[in-house]
Structure 1
């Protein structure tokens, strides 16, 4: 049986779970109330930090699911995403509009990566 490693665990969730060569991140958000650009940049920085701690990096992303408070922010978010993502190794990606935990959150991302 493979070991399971959990990073930054609390009673409800872990920020990252590593199992069988794969890293699963919890949804990452930034400070509420900021612009979608600022929230996207901050959340992607958190993704990078968690992947680094797990022993991975953004070049090993397998999939990304992005939730926007409004699809009106799609182009603005994509400008940040396109500058951040490894163009030689883009993940499978989905993006949709959803009501997030608070209306002040405009961006949330969930990623899965290989070690």
Structure 2
């Protein structure tokens, strides 16, 4: 198992797992109770940091799954996403509505990226 590297290992999950030239991030959430825009900004800052630890960056994201507590927040989340995403290298992306871990979480983002 030495070919698998795990980052920020916790009792339940790792925040990132690297294997075979790819990095999978755990679902990232912002600060409970913040606005959708602020949660999205916090999440994307965390994604940047985890990708950097893994030897990657947002230009190498292959796929993103975004869960919203309510699809009415789609435009608010997208405004932050659009300002952040690499316009030359946008990933494949899906967005759906789902109940999240607590009602105070409005956004959760999952990322798969290539490692440099």
TM-score (structure 2 length as normaliser): 0.97
Please state whether the residue corresponding to 2:101 is helix, strand or coil: coil
| Shift, 1:62, TM fit | 0.2
User: Which blocks of at least 5 consecutive residues in structure 1 are unaligned?
Assistant: none
Contact 1:23 1:54 in 2 (8 A): yes
**In structure 1, how many angstroms separate the alpha carbons of the residues matched to 2:86 and 2:10?**
31
Corresponding residue for residue 3 of structure 1: 3
Query: What is the SS of the residue equivalent to 1:78?
Result: helix
Q: How many residues align?
A: 115
CA-atom RMSD, angstroms?
Answer: 1.0
For normalisation by structure 1, the TM-score amounts to 0.98
- 1:57 and 2:46 matched: no
SS class of match (1:12): coil
Report SS of the residue matched to 2:40.
helix
Alignment of structure 1 residues 88-103 onto 2, 5 Å: 88-103=88-103
1-side partners of 2:10 and 2:102: how far apart?
20
What secondary structure does 2:34 align onto? coil
Q: Which runs of 5+ in 2 are unaligned?
A: none
